[in-house]
Structure 1
Amino acid sequence: MNYEIRPAEERDVRAITDIYNEAVIRGGSSADLEPVSLDARRAWVDSHQPRATYPVVVIDVTDPATGERETAGFGSLSKFHQRAGYDGITELSYYIARRFHRQGLGTEMVRWLLDAAVERGFRHATTIIYADNAGSVALMRAFGFTRFGLLPAAVATAGDDTLHDMSYWVKTL
């Protein structure tokens, strides 16, 4: 599959919103329970400052038959905590549109984000995942993340009236 990971631009906010909302509706990937507005997602993108340190990127795929490009997912490095002592840690997140699952794009996105974290001088990357999200858990393990915490059932819902464990993951860079 032909793909390109590139910095998100204003023109990408709609696709970022749509991909995120698809994950919200499907459940198990976001603690948001209702789809978010375009303005809310734009504010989220804009909150990644400075962008040189906290990138938001999209992964575009090109259909080899038609040459048409489509945004298949997005990812980001975010500030882990507001206190300066945590500045060596970044929070990694990524979302891939459902129809592009199991095609290696999540792997490529995580690889890109980890490389970007190293280039930016972060010492650790962390992420929070629904513990029963088998795909993301397997991906974190494949990249050498270690689960360092677990919030047991009764802490988070995915909008399906079921309470889920949340797992916390870290990787030394």
Structure 2
Amino acid sequence: MLNYEIRPAEDADLQAITDIYNEAVIRGGASADLEPVSLEMRRAWVDSHSPRTKYPVVVIDAIDTATGERTTAGFGSLSKFHQRAGYDGVTELSYYIAGEYHRQGLGTAMVSWLLDAAVARGFRHAAAIIYADNAGSVALMRRFGFTRFGLLPAAVTTAGDDTLHDMSYWYKKL
């Protein structure tokens, strides 16, 4: 049995965040990065979420109910949607769950937390950009009432794959 806790990311989480992200890069279909990123690149990404009170970066710890063992199983964030000030009421949410924890409800928990956080911070809309063939993430967007508002056909490749994939753009009015 698995429980979880979502908490603010700390410096000690940076390696796990980097490892989970790089796993997604290598697996493909979740990031447009074509090569794994360095710890310093991920640190710069975390640090770009400023102020952290408005743009949180969080991790989700999986907790084994039998042993109490905790493992960082994923991370998520709210980010600026666009640099122009008129967009300040819109946030982009993103999340990554380690492959061994897929289909265990952690993505659902993370998206729920991020949406609650967006509402609490006064955002008007949440947006997400997802590979159109990422069935799991597309299903999560639909589950949470997001509307697809755009499709960029044959836009991006993934690591180790020259096939062009469509990107889908989603929003939810908060």
1:10-89 equivalent positions in 2, closer than 5 A: 10-89=11-90
Runs of 4+, deviation exceeding 6 Å:
none
TM-score, normalisation: structure 1 = 0.98
CA deviations 1:88-142 (Å, max 9, x no partner) are 0000000000000000000000000000000000000000000000000000000
2:141 is aligned to 140
Cα distance between partner residues in 2 of 1:31 and 1:19: 15
CA displacement at 1:65 relative to structure 2: 2.0
- Unaligned 5+ runs, structure 2: none
SS in 2 for 1:53: coil
- 2:158 paired with 1:166: no
Cα distance between partner residues in 1 of 2:64 and 2:43: 27
Cα distance between partner residues in 1 of 2:68 and 2:138: 33
CA deviations 1:56-107 (Å, max 9, x no partner) are 0000011122211000000000001110000000000000000000000000
1:94 is aligned to 95
Report which stretch shifted further, 85-94 or 64-73: 64-73
TM-score, normalisation: structure 2 = 0.98
Partner letter of residue 132 of structure 2?
Answer: A
Cα distance between partner residues in 1 of 2:135 and 2:164: 16
CA RMSD, 1 decimal: 0.5
Percent identity, aligned pairs only, is 82
- Unaligned 5+ runs, structure 1: none
Cα distance between partner residues in 2 of 1:104 and 1:49: 28
